Amino acid sequence: SYFRLSKPLIMLWLTYIVVTHAESQPWSLLQAPKELTLKLIRDPVTLSLASTDYGHIVHDNPFAIFAPSSISDISDLIKFSNSLPIPFTIAPRGQAHSVHGQAMTSDGVVMNMTELNEFRNGAGIVVVSDDASAPYADVGGEQIWIDVLHATLERGLTPLSWTDYLFLSVGGTLSNAGISGQTFRFGPQISNVHELDVVTGKGDLVTCSAENNSELFYSVLGGLGQFGIITRARIALGPAPTRVKRLHLFYNDFSAFSGDQEHLISFNGRNETNAADYIEGFLMLNQSPLELSFYPESDRPRITSLVTQYGIIYIIELVKYYDNSSQEHVDEDVKLLVEGLKFVPTFMFEKDESYEEFLNRVHSDELILRSQGLWEVPHPWLNLFVPGSRISDFDEGVFKGIILKQNIKAGLAIIYPVNQTKWDDKMSAVTPDEEVFYVVSLLHATGFDQLEEFQAQNQQILQFCVDSGIGIKQYLPQNKTHNEWEKHFGPKWKIFNQRKAQFDPNRILSPGQGIFN
């Protein structure tokens, strides 16, 4: 009878052994070859740094941080994990500028990609320009874009496609897409890569391109870190301009604003050389503090009253690059670009900046925010791709119907259209299936006291899109359930799964995305 009574207890105890054994798998890491264990860091301060990201919303404690000093280290660690009965997860971490734990792992190993740079002996970015081929740069996956910019500018060259902020790693942005105001013209950063070196989820180092090992190449681009770790990317370059004309055009009417944006990104009657080089847009909202530093002081009062009058103002940001050879006609080029646009008369503002100053513009904001203690705060961001055919419904329902009506100070809201033809559907990145779709980024920064309000607002926006049948796709997606991921990838879900089974069958890589783990 004693046995009968305690049988459930024994079962419970056995379950406990099994579960704790499974959970403590990372400890078997300590039995890894010494070359690997020497590179594991487990001090509490480093562990806690790797348990958060730019979002400050998700916190996952890794078992250890791995500091690779070579590509073979990366490969060896992945192979070691695969050799265990229960492999541990590995999260490559670029700059951890994700906002929802995408570069984290709970109980696994965070691969600190930045460490690699220490061992590149200055060869982390190699710029190649000879007569034999179009110029390119071979760049380590751990490198950050600001350093790529500096290295290429030294040779009078530049990547063509950017993100708004340059302190992001090459591996991190290529795992998403890498988008900005140049995307309409040159495609996302993933469309500007010739070749990659990737350590797959099996630990194999593979060089891949559209011609060789193309399945891996297309999987990894926009692949959310699921198939392999990018250790080198060959990036397309072009001649670098030296300066830019940067314009802001104000609109109080959404259809005039979006009509003009779409006109500017279309190449109707325009060849690429006289098109704009960059088109973005953003909102000024009455309920949020206005950021007016771009405008002459004498114009700020009339800008403020325009926003007060309409509650919401839409601004097109248009940039035209130039250099010594085009300096003479750049003003004429700009005049032609804005001719016939329907912005509020006299509400056009222009700045002349160096190319680098323009590309690195967000860093100036970063320095100000850091000095005010407002950089390391929660960032409940929502990034969406909205089909062009439904953008007016989105404006009515979301900008005017939700954001404007709620009494919380919205962060920066960015909106600009891009051309789907510049994206390659073979890649893992997903977009709405329309020729023109809009990037909408709601970039809130808040205190912990208001975090839930913003998260609720984001949910409300997503629900509004579902209820209204607006087929949005999330960029930098934050899906949680299997169903949400399946829906996100749509027709690509099957191939995404097949690719996972092929390149990372034990589901080791980038568990923080929450797709397979």
Q: Which residues are catalytic?
A: 97, 164, 280
Q: Distance of alpha carbon 50 from its chain centroid, rounded? A: 19
Which residues, at least 6 apart from 491, have a Cβ–Cβ distance to it below 8 Å? none
Joined tokens for residue 135: 């110029």
| 95 interacts with ligand FAD by CB under 6 A | yes
Q: Per-residue DSSP letters for 43-91?
A: -HHHHHHTT--TT-S-----SEEE--SSHHHHHHHHHHHHHSSSPPPEE
Q: From CA 488, how far away is CA 465, in angstroms rounded?
A: 13
Residue span binding ligand FAD (CB under 6 A) among the ranges 172-180, 200-208, 289-297, 486-494? 172-180
Q: Exactly one of 54, 322, 355, 385 binds ligand FAD (CB under 6 A); which one?
A: 54
Residue span binding ligand FAD (CB under 6 A) among the ranges 98-106, 147-155, 261-269, 428-436? 98-106
Q: Exactly one of 25, 75, 102, 428 binds ligand FAD (CB under 6 A); which one?
A: 102
Which residues, at least 6 apart from 53, have a Cβ–Cβ distance to it below 8 Å? 96, 97, 98, 99, 100, 101, 102, 103, 104
Q: Exactly one of 360, 446, 457, 510 binds ligand FAD (CB under 6 A); which one?
A: 510
| 225 interacts with ligand FAD by CB under 6 A | yes
| 171 interacts with ligand FAD by CB under 6 A | yes
Q: Which of residues 355-394 bind ligand FAD (CB under 6 A)?
A: 362
Which residues, at least 6 apart from 263, have a Cβ–Cβ distance to it below 8 Å? 341
- Cβ 324 to ligand FAD, closest distance in Å? 29
| 168 interacts with ligand FAD by CB under 6 A | yes
Is the CB of 71 or the CB of 303 nearer to ligand FAD? 71
- What H or E segment, with its residue span, contains residue 112? strand 109-112
Joined tokens for residue 173: 């942005």
Q: What value, to the nearest 5°, has the Cα angle with vertex 138 and ends 152 and 205?
A: 160
Q: Exactly one of 97, 232, 243, 248 binds ligand FAD (CB under 6 A); which one?
A: 97
Q: Exactly one of 93, 232, 234, 246 binds ligand FAD (CB under 6 A); which one?
A: 93
Is the CB of 87 or the CB of 512 nearer to ligand FAD? 512
Q: Exactly one of 87, 92, 471, 477 binds ligand FAD (CB under 6 A); which one?
A: 92
Which contacts of 368-372 are long-range, i.e. CB under 8 A and separated by 24 or more positions? 369/445
- Cβ 90 to ligand FAD, closest distance in Å? 9
Joined tokens for residue 162: 């950017």
| 105 interacts with ligand FAD by CB under 6 A | no
Is the CB of 56 or the CB of 270 nearer to ligand FAD? 56
Q: From CA 483, how far away is CA 305, in angstroms rounded?
A: 46
- The β-bridge partners of 159 are 237
Q: Exactly one of 112, 169, 258, 457 binds ligand FAD (CB under 6 A); which one?
A: 169
| 161 interacts with ligand FAD by CB under 6 A | no
| 179 interacts with ligand FAD by CB under 6 A | yes
The answer to whether 45 and 30 are in contact (CB under 8 A) is no
Q: Exactly one of 50, 113, 157, 330 binds ligand FAD (CB under 6 A); which one?
A: 113
Joined tokens for residue 48: 């806690």
| 163 interacts with ligand FAD by CB under 6 A | yes
Q: Which residue is nearest to ligand FAD (CB)?
A: 171
Q: Which residue has the tokens 């779409």?
A: 262
Q: From CA 436, how far away is CA 420, in angstroms rounded?
A: 6
| 233 interacts with ligand FAD by CB under 6 A | no
Q: From CA 506, how far away is CA 502, in angstroms rounded?
A: 10
| 427 interacts with ligand FAD by CB under 6 A | no
The answer to whether 171 and 229 are in contact (CB under 8 A) is yes
| 94 interacts with ligand FAD by CB under 6 A | yes
Is the CB of 258 or the CB of 510 nearer to ligand FAD? 510
Residue span binding ligand FAD (CB under 6 A) among the ranges 117-125, 221-229, 329-337, 483-491? 221-229
Residue span binding ligand FAD (CB under 6 A) among the ranges 95-103, 128-136, 396-404, 482-490? 95-103
Kindly report the number of other CB atoms within 10 A of residue 251's CB atom: 24
Is the CB of 91 or the CB of 461 nearer to ligand FAD? 91
Residue 371 burial class via C-beta count within 10 angstroms: exposed 0-12, middle 13-18, buried 19 and up: exposed
Residue 138 burial class via C-beta count within 10 angstroms: exposed 0-12, middle 13-18, buried 19 and up: middle
| 135 interacts with ligand FAD by CB under 6 A | no
- The β-bridge partners of 125 are 139
- Cβ 255 to ligand FAD, closest distance in Å? 26
Residue 247 is classified by DSSP as E
| 178 interacts with ligand FAD by CB under 6 A | yes
| 200 interacts with ligand FAD by CB under 6 A | no
Which residues, at least 6 apart from 164, have a Cβ–Cβ distance to it below 8 Å? 180, 181, 280, 361, 362, 414
Site string for ligand FAD, 467-506 (x = CB under 6 A): ---------x------------------------------
- Cβ 278 to ligand FAD, closest distance in Å? 12
- Cβ 439 to ligand FAD, closest distance in Å? 8
Q: Quick check: helix, strand or coil at residue 203?
A: coil
Residues forming the site for ligand FAD (CB under 6 A): 54, 91-98, 102-103, 113, 141, 163-165, 168-169, 171-173, 175-180, 224-225, 229-230, 362, 476, 510, 512-513
